[in-house]
Structure 1
Amino acid sequence: MNDTQRFQVHLTGMIDILSNHLYNEKDVYIRELLQNANDALTARRNYHEDFKPYIHVSLTESGDSPPTIIFEDNGIGLTEEEVHQFLATIANSSKGEKTFGDTNSDFIGRFGIGLLSCFIVSDEIVMVSTSAKNNETIEWRGKADGTYEIRKLEGKTFTPGTKVYIRRKEKLNLPGDCFEISTLRQTLKKYGACLEPNIILAYNGFEEEINRWSHQFANKSLLHQMSSTDILAFGSEILGMDYQDYFFIENKTGRTYGIAYIVPHTIHMNAKKSNAVFLNRMFVTKESQHLLPDWALFIHCILWTDELSPIASREDFYQNDALEQVRESLGIAIKKNIIDLPDVTLSKLMHIHYLGFKALASQDDDFLSFIYPYLPMRTLNGEQSLQTILKTDETVYYTDTVDAFRQIQDIARAKQMNLINGGYTYDIYILNKLSLLLSNHQLRLIDPLEMTDTLKKLNSEEEELFVQIINEINQKMNDFKVNVELRRFEPNHLPTLFIHSHQSQEDRELERIAESSNSLFSDLLMSLQPQEPARPILYLNWNNVLIQNILTSDKTAEQLCVIVQILYIQALLLGHYPLKNNELEMMNQNLLYLLKLV
């Protein structure tokens, strides 16, 4: 016959898990005490009692004795049976069944390990509780070694509620513990700012109400009636930043709502999100990373919810279907509010946070259709809004890379083309989409190779005059896998035009990487190249005085080749292309050659 045995729990080890592994915040015991007090008040309210709820916190110091924090509430209290059931049994909560996916709880805590967190800072927890159910008063003393004592207090009438005493450990080594009044005050404000019951802090005979002003912001109907001055001040207090603009957001269920503050400075796309979230009015986190869409970096939010499930540490939320639905719904709400912003506010917002808006516009066609006139783009005339760009010409050209823009910008300017540099983050996606969405404008992607069709060939006499020297130059340039051609083009002051296709750039980069790799990897890279790699073209401008003087001078073929090679190196450097080994060697040799001629 098999004997049924029970697991034994080592409480000291459990405390280590709580303090060093489960909770990131070391002041979590204050949150747990606030949470338990608030839930007790909720339970008494559900018990249909008419009373004025409060939470009273005091810090007492007596001579050389360690300081003591006393938490008191006038909630429902615990019976003796409930004390045995919920305080002596780890992970058994008085808030009912722990269905973690459930989003319909009025209670904050549901894991049944909250009070144990006090052992992080205290060797003994004393709790005196009077139950509203039977008016019995029970004293419970729990020790960090896993033992506890219970006794009934008789002979005196107590009102319903609970008092918890935690005395600081003699040798506590926890920086920033809450047994110092300013830290305790700050921690109570952090966790309890939006709790509905009055939170009173007492010290040295003085009392202050911690949440007198801040608790009203969690009331949705009151929130919309508050002044902008108060709302901006609240954002500054909770999020630690001064804001100038905000709007309200709410998901479709109405159970997650709050304030979206517009960040007054540019945010890096990889920056951590700063969003404070309260669950049933209790602070959960100020760094929620998953509750808003990734593109919503231009706002910091304070949100209240009662429909999400906290993880065990209650410092974040489960990433489940409920959270995904809330995130999607809040994203829709943010977009709607952006659309409704005044033009002045929207323009200011766009100036600071254009990258976040471009990220959103690249994913959402409907939003793009609204926001595109305000989006800034780089053009031949500097940065301009799309609204300004599209007013100037019916046809607007754009490149897909910064390099392609650099290659043709001079010749495009000479032809008075309206050209956008589409090589910056998100721009090519936006421009490609707009080319399909806008029926009254023609947005056209242009390849640098297309521009070569506009270059004029020399007449037959000129062609015959220079064909031999151009052929000799090309033979010399063959080692560098570049072709040289003579053309006429504007602007006249431009001596050369270097056209480098996507394929020729890829081939060049493969060769450059292969040069700095070992022989095995180098051979592997070179095997990826086509047998006939695409070649860039260096166009010499016959309209340019320098080119005319060079080609009509009495220079030898060797000297002309040296000059053209120098022009080629110049074109590479102006285009920000790293030089290959043979190009560096050629540049050095040509400089030495020129020095000998001087």
Structure 2
Amino acid sequence: MSDERFLVDLRGLVDILSHHLYSSPRVYLRELIQNARDAVVARHEIDPDSPEQISITVDEASGAVIVRDQGIGLTEQEMRDVLATIGASSKREDFARTRRKYLGQFGIGLLSCFLIADRIEVRSRSARTADAATISWVGSADGTFAISPATEPLAEPGTEVRVKARPDEWEWTQPHRVRLLAERFAGLLELPVALHRGPVLPAEIVSQRTQPWRGSAQEMEDWAHQELGFRPLAILPVAVPGAGVRGLAFIADSPGQVGTRRGDTVYSKGMFVTDSSVQLVPSWAYFVRLVVEAGDLPLTASREALQDSFTIDAVKEQVGIQVRQGIERFAENDPAGFSRFLDVHAKGLMAMAVSDDDMLDLVSQSVKWETNEGYQTLAQMRRRAEVVLYTTSMTDFTAFAPILAARGTPLVNASYVYGREILRRLVERPLRGARLRAFDAGRFIDELQRPLAGDTAAQLLEEQARPVLQQLGVALDLREFSPVTVPVLFVGASGDAEFNAAGDDQADGDDAWGALLSDLVTAAESSASHGPRLVVNVGSTSVRAFGTIKDRYVREEAIAGLYVIGRLTAGERLQPQDAVLLNRALQALMTAAGDAETE
């Protein structure tokens, strides 16, 4: 036996492995299990009756871990070929190419053991010939390796790797740590992986766990709770058969951070790859956590991530489509559950819809908005009405919702976060159903009916109210509209409103739209600004009652009270003088009522 040198400095290669290829020393065990699994599969291809078990033995006294398989094994020349190829280059792509070529035959993964050890001992017997000798390979961190016939031959074909940790890396070979790592990496492997943690404890099978996507609904939920830390609001199946991808999408029960995905759990041929992948789900689905079998998707050289490729982009697109369709089915089949989903994620969905067309469609179809006809989706409203109005002002919504409801015109409250941006985007999209238009309060009031000529009650009201309101710096505007329960509307000094000229141009002379236009709202340019004005509904029963008030002082105070009510309805912040006016009006009315009772 003679010592032979690697073609590069092994210390330098190990530095590359630790700093540029592998994320943590813990990967040594995954690589050993992976190589054993690949070797077993390779042997099974030439001998379907070959044994399939992998064993892991922990020698706590010496700090060593031994991984054994009864797989394809290696010849002396194969050992040299693998190491020579690895030593020839430190480039990441060369690592990947070597790994693919020697899959199941030792592989670069063996060198990951140098992350925790200074010496690796291997015994291997090839299964390709009946009388193959057992070959010993011993590699050292000083840059040498030795190949020789083994002094203790293996009874069956296969490979045994022994790794003894350095004192500063002892933790990685402790029994409890090895058990956790073995369960993590090999838990879903379909072949048995037996863990031996000493002469007293019985061997434990750490693999062959039920794959989440093959379990019952309760098992799926339990997996998410144990592995992801939450009880999912819904579980959606995903599958891309052409790429061999299969798994589950769990909808998180907490909002998370919009636009930031916490990462998905990926397995490849049953071996754990990563729990931080962001390659398989579109960014808009931030509320989804995926667990998948990656099937035929290739891994990087480190086997800790998926390679970027056109295939993975196609899989990502399909997953996005299936998530969206799954949410639509969720909304249809489980309204109560979907309501909980919206309670948690509505704001996030809206945020993503501002820039993502797929999410915009989902929001339009699924998210319920506050309207003057109750909570409805935009899609529902656009199917039912000829025109749907929206306002980004909470005060306008509060004030005008009942008036538009009385006319049968839907009004959407878009004053919430992202409402303005989303509705503007939807206005620009040629979707089926009603036209979506911005509501202009000033223009709407200008179109309201004025009192009929000869309405003495209206004339009297104008004579009595105008001087009072002029003292308050407010113009009087008499109109008549339904419902009669709305006595006044207050319009502030700003008459700005949102319009979409391109959208209005789409009317193309439509008679129905033209009729609505005269009765409602929109135009291709902004309405003129007005000073503060109080729009008084002369059709209101409470307003018409002013004609019965004989005391001029009481009438003036009541008018001032209506002005304050109008400001309150419009959401205006009351000033100290407003509170004085309201208090005086209330006092005057109560005094008048008391005087009337004593007469």
TM-score (norm 1): 0.69
Whole-angstrom distance in 2 between the partners of 1:443 and 1:107: 62
Structure 2: which 5+ residue stretches go unaligned?
452-457, 500-525, 554-559, 581-599
Does 2:441 match 1:448? Answer: yes
Q: Which residue of the partner structure matches residue 523 of structure 1? A: none
Whole-angstrom distance in 2 between the partners of 1:152 and 1:24: 35
Q: Which residue of the partner structure matches residue 29 of structure 2? A: 30
Does 2:346 match 1:375? Answer: no
For residues 282 and 360 of structure 1, do their structure 2 counterparts lie closer, same or farther at Cα, with a shift above 3 Å needed?
Answer: farther
Q: Which moved more, 1:122-131 or 1:16-25?
A: 16-25
Judge conservation of contact 2:53–2:193 (CA < 8 Å) in 1.
yes
For residues 268 and 157 of structure 1, do their structure 2 counterparts lie closer, same or farther at Cα, with a shift above 3 Å needed?
Answer: closer
1:351 positional shift: 3.5
1:45 positional shift: 2.8
Does 2:66 match 1:70? Answer: yes
Whole-angstrom distance in 2 between the partners of 1:88 and 1:434: 61
Q: Which moved more, 1:484-493 or 1:35-44?
A: 484-493
1:352 positional shift: 0.9
Q: Which residue of the partner structure matches residue 148 of structure 1? A: 145
Whole-angstrom distance in 1 between the partners of 2:528 and 2:272: 61
Q: Which residue of the partner structure matches residue 294 of structure 2? A: 305
Judge conservation of contact 1:485–1:537 (CA < 8 Å) in 2.
no
Does 2:114 match 1:122? Answer: no
SS in 2 for 1:56: strand
Q: Which residue of the partner structure matches residue 363 of structure 1? A: 357
Does 2:13 match 1:18? Answer: no
SS in 2 for 1:270: coil
Report % sequence identity: 26
1:283 positional shift: 1.4
Judge conservation of contact 1:257–1:303 (CA < 8 Å) in 2.
yes
Deviations 1:12-38 (A, max 9, x none): 344344334433344211111122212
Amino acid paired to 1:143 = S
Deviations 1:50-99 (A, max 9, x none): 3021211111122xx4x111111112222222222223553679xxx969
Does 2:92 match 1:81? Answer: no
Deviations 1:397-422 (A, max 9, x none): 33152556357447546767532113
Deviations 1:323-360 (A, max 9, x none): 11111122333344445558442551354146377768
Whole-angstrom distance in 1 between the partners of 2:23 and 2:186: 18
Judge conservation of contact 1:108–1:280 (CA < 8 Å) in 2.
no
For residues 360 and 152 of structure 1, do their structure 2 counterparts lie closer, same or farther at Cα, with a shift above 3 Å needed?
Answer: farther
Does 2:428 match 1:428? Answer: no
Whole-angstrom distance in 1 between the partners of 2:476 and 2:301: 71
SS in 2 for 1:452: helix
Deviations 1:535-567 (A, max 9, x none): 56422244598xx99xx999xxxxxxx999999
Q: Which residue of the partner structure matches residue 209 of structure 2? A: 213
Whole-angstrom distance in 1 between the partners of 2:143 and 2:324: 54
1:363 positional shift: 2.9
Q: Which residue of the partner structure matches residue 349 of structure 1? A: 338
Deviations 1:449-507 (A, max 9, x none): 33222456687898799889988977xxxxxxxx96645477655462337455799xx
Whole-angstrom distance in 1 between the partners of 2:496 and 2:327: 38
Judge conservation of contact 1:408–1:451 (CA < 8 Å) in 2.
no
Deviations 1:290-328 (A, max 9, x none): 202233344432211233232343322233211111111
For residues 342 and 447 of structure 1, do their structure 2 counterparts lie closer, same or farther at Cα, with a shift above 3 Å needed?
Answer: closer
Whole-angstrom distance in 1 between the partners of 2:318 and 2:463: 71
Q: Which residue of the partner structure matches residue 55 of structure 1? A: 54
1:171 positional shift: 2.5
Counterpart among 173, 178, 184 of residue 184 in structure 1: 178
Amino acid paired to 1:129 = S
SS in 2 for 1:398: strand
Q: Which residue of the partner structure matches residue 317 of structure 1? A: 306
Whole-angstrom distance in 1 between the partners of 2:124 and 2:475: 93
Counterpart among 275, 287, 301 of residue 276 in structure 2: 287
Whole-angstrom distance in 1 between the partners of 2:126 and 2:413: 72
1:385 positional shift: 5.1
Judge conservation of contact 2:55–2:195 (CA < 8 Å) in 1.
yes
Give the number of aligned pairs: 523
1:265 positional shift: 4.8
Does 2:275 match 1:275? Answer: no
SS in 2 for 1:57: strand
Does 2:322 match 1:333? Answer: yes
Q: Which residue of the partner structure matches residue 127 of structure 2? A: 132
Amino acid paired to 1:348 = G
1:240 positional shift: 4.2
Whole-angstrom distance in 2 between the partners of 1:26 and 1:399: 58
Judge conservation of contact 1:414–1:491 (CA < 8 Å) in 2.
no
Whole-angstrom distance in 2 between the partners of 1:317 and 1:415: 58
Deviations 1:127-178 (A, max 9, x none): 22222235222222222232222222157454221111111211338xxx43
For residues 472 and 372 of structure 1, do their structure 2 counterparts lie closer, same or farther at Cα, with a shift above 3 Å needed?
Answer: closer
For residues 253 and 485 of structure 1, do their structure 2 counterparts lie closer, same or farther at Cα, with a shift above 3 Å needed?
Answer: farther
Whole-angstrom distance in 1 between the partners of 2:167 and 2:96: 37
Amino acid paired to 2:34 = Q
Judge conservation of contact 1:504–1:534 (CA < 8 Å) in 2.
no
Judge conservation of contact 1:126–1:165 (CA < 8 Å) in 2.
yes
1:122 positional shift: 1.6
Q: Which residue of the partner structure matches residue 170 of structure 1? A: 167
SS in 1 for 2:33: helix
Judge conservation of contact 2:72–2:105 (CA < 8 Å) in 1.
no
Amino acid paired to 2:143 = G
Judge conservation of contact 2:72–2:128 (CA < 8 Å) in 1.
yes
SS in 2 for 1:302: strand
Whole-angstrom distance in 2 between the partners of 1:495 and 1:163: 86
For residues 306 and 414 of structure 1, do their structure 2 counterparts lie closer, same or farther at Cα, with a shift above 3 Å needed?
Answer: closer
Judge conservation of contact 1:199–1:210 (CA < 8 Å) in 2.
yes
Whole-angstrom distance in 2 between the partners of 1:292 and 1:377: 27
Judge conservation of contact 2:448–2:479 (CA < 8 Å) in 1.
yes
For residues 309 and 264 of structure 1, do their structure 2 counterparts lie closer, same or farther at Cα, with a shift above 3 Å needed?
Answer: same
Structure 1: which 5+ residue stretches go unaligned?
1-5, 475-482, 506-531, 555-561, 577-583, 593-598
Counterpart among 199, 204, 223 of residue 198 in structure 2: 204
Whole-angstrom distance in 1 between the partners of 2:137 and 2:157: 16
Judge conservation of contact 1:56–1:201 (CA < 8 Å) in 2.
yes
TM-score (norm 2): 0.69
Deviations 1:517-543 (A, max 9, x none): xxxxxxxxxxxxxxx998564222445
SS in 1 for 2:117: coil
For residues 436 and 81 of structure 1, do their structure 2 counterparts lie closer, same or farther at Cα, with a shift above 3 Å needed?
Answer: closer
